[in-house]
Amino acid sequence: MGIVERKQRQREEVRDGILRAAWALVQEEGWQSLSIRKIADAIEYSVPVIYSHFENKDAILQEFTKEGFRKLNNALDESGAQEKNPAAGLMLMAKAYWHFAFQNKEYYQLMYGLGMPTCEKVRQVPELSKFTDLLHGAVKNLITNSKNAETDSFLKFHTFWSMLHGLVSINMVERTACPDSLHELVLEDAVRGFIKNIQD
Amino acid sequence: MGIVERKQRQREEVRDGILRAAWALVQEEGWQSLSIRKIADAIEYSVPVIYSHFENKDAILQEFTKEGFRKLNNALDESGAQEKNPAAGLMLMAKAYWHFAFQNKEYYQLMYGLGMPTCEKVRQVPELSKFTDLLHGAVKNLITNSKNAETDSFLKFHTFWSMLHGLVSINMVERTACPDSLHELVLEDAVRGFIKNIQD
DNA sequence: TATTAATTATAACAGTGTTAACAAAATCAG
DNA sequence: CTGATTTTGTTAACACTGTTATAATTAATA
C-alpha cells in the first residue's frame, strides 16, 4: 500500500510550499524582512514544521542561493552556445551575466551577500562624493594625457571603480590558500589592462 | 560659568564611548552580532542613553561608514601624491584602494553592504564550481586562440569574474537616473578592454 | 477498538531594536 | 539653604526575531 509514498509526497509538497511562500515574501518585502514566522503564517502551518524540513533559516536561504547559481549557469550556458568567435562569445557571456543579475536582483543579492547599500543610504554619506572625485580625477588625468582625450571619463571612472570593488569583494570571499602575491597579480593585471585600453 | 560647556564635553565623551565600545565589539564579534544592548553594557549606561546620542542603530553604523570613507580617502590621497606619471599614479591608487580594503576589512564590509558570504558558506554551494568552470572555460578559450597561449588562465578568469561582479554591484547601488544604455556601455567597455589585453 | 507511532501545535527561551513612563540628580530661583 | 524645574538616566514594556522542549492531536498498526 502506497501510504508511505503518499506521506513522502505530502512532505515534499509542504517543503515546496515553504520555498514558494518564502519567495513570495521576498519579492514583496526583500530578504531582510523574511522571517520564519511569516513563512509559517503563509503556509498555514506552525513554526516547528518549517524546522522539520530545514535545519534553520540559513538552510532556506542556501536553497535559494543554489537555485540562483543554477539559473545563472543556465543563462551563461545558453548565451554563447552558437558563437564560434571566442572574443564575441566572452562578450555574450558577460552580457548574459549582467542581465541575469538585474533581472534576478533578489537572487543576485543573496548569492553575493545580502545587504547591498541602498541608493538613499549612499546619498547620506557625503564622504562618498570626495571619494568619487578622487578616483574620477585620477582617471581624467590619465585620459587627458592620452591620445584619445575625448574619452568619456565618467564612464571610465565607473569601470575603474567597479573593477576595484569587484576584485576586492571576490577575493574577500575566495581567501583560500592562494598567496597574497597572486591576488596582487590579478589586481596589477586588471589595472594594466584598464590603462592600456585607455591609452590605446 | 562654563557648566554648559562641561555638559557638552561630557555628552561628547559618552558619544565617543559609544563609538569606541561599538568598534571594540565589532572587532571581537563582527558587525552581525553588534547590538545596542551590548554597547550599553560596555559603556555601563542604560539602553535609552544610546538613543539620546544616535537616532537608531543605523545611525551608528553610518558613522562608521563615514569614518571608513574618510580613511579610504586619506589612503588614496597619499598614494599617488608625488607620482607624476598618470598611469603609474592610477596603479598606485588602485593598490592603495586594495590595501585599504584588506587592512580594514570591517570598514570595507560595512561600506559596501554587510553580509559578505564567508568561505565556508561558499564551499557549501556546489553550483559555484560549475559556474567557475563555465567562466573559466570561456576565458581559456579566448587565451588559447590568442598569440599568448601561455597566459595564466586562472588569473584572467579571476580578473574577469571580479570585473563582472564589480560592475554589477556598483551599478546596483548607483541606480540613479542614468539610462540603462550607459550602464551597458560601461560593461562593453570593460569587457573589450579585458579582451584586448589578452589578445595584445 | 486499543495501542503505538508520526505529526503538528502551544508556549517558552533568549535574543533583537525601540520607546513610553517613571525615578534620580543636577541646576536654578527665591 | 530650601523648593521648584529642568536635565539625565533607568526600568519595563512592546513587538519583533530564530530556535526548541513539551504537550496535544492525528493517523497507522496490532
The model carries a pTM of 0.79
Task: Return the top range by mean pLDDT from A5-19, A175-189, B60-74, B155-169.
Answer: A5-19
Q: How many CB atoms lie within 10 A of CB A172?
A: 19
Q: Give the pLDDT of residue A131.
A: 66
Domain B3-54 annotated CATH 1.20.120.1200: no
Report the candidate in B166, B189, B199 with the shortest Cα–Cα distance to residue A143.
B189
Contact A164 B97 (CB under 8 A): yes
Judge whether residue A64 has pLDDT over 70.
Answer: yes
Judge whether residue A40 has pLDDT over 60.
Answer: yes
pLDDT higher at A83 or B140: B140
Cell of A38: 511569516
CA nearest to nucleotide D10 C1': residue: B46
Give the Cα separation of A31 and A117 in Å (integer). 13
Averaged pLDDT, A41-67: 92
CA nearest to nucleotide D7 C1': residue: B7
Q: How many CB atoms lie within 10 A of CB B185?
A: 15
What DSSP designation does A55 have?
S
Averaged pLDDT, A135-145: 80
For domain A62-199, give its CATH number from 1.10.357.10, 2.60.120.260, 1.10.3720.10, 1.10.8.50.
1.10.357.10
Contact status, residue A174 vs residue B129, Cβ threshold 8 Å:
no
The residue ranges of every structural domain in chain A are 3-54, 62-199
For the four alpha carbons of A186, A191, A194 and A195, in that order, the dihedral sign comes to negative
Which residue in B90, B113, B169 is closest to A139 by CB distance? B90
Could you tell me where the DSSP H helices lie in chain A? 3-29, 36-43, 47-51, 57-79, 86-103, 105-111, 119-123, 127-144, 153-173, 180-199
Identify the weakest region by mean pLDDT among A39-48, A145-154, B165-174.
B165-174
Averaged pLDDT, A161-183: 64
Give the rounded distance of the alpha carbon of A180 from its chain centre. 24
Q: Binning pLDDT at 50, 70 and 90, where does residue A177 land?
A: very low
Chain A: residue nearest B67 by CA? Answer: A127
Q: Give the pLDDT of residue A151.
A: 87
Question: Which stretches of chain B score pLDDT less than 50?
Answer: 177
Residues of B in contact with A117 (CB under 8 A): 111-113, 173
Give the Cα separation of A121 and A118 in Å (integer). 5
Q: Give the pLDDT of residue B177.
A: 45
Strand D contact nucleotides, protein CB < 7 Å: 7-13, 16-22, 28-29
Q: Give the pLDDT of residue A124.
A: 59
Q: Give the pLDDT of residue A170.
A: 65
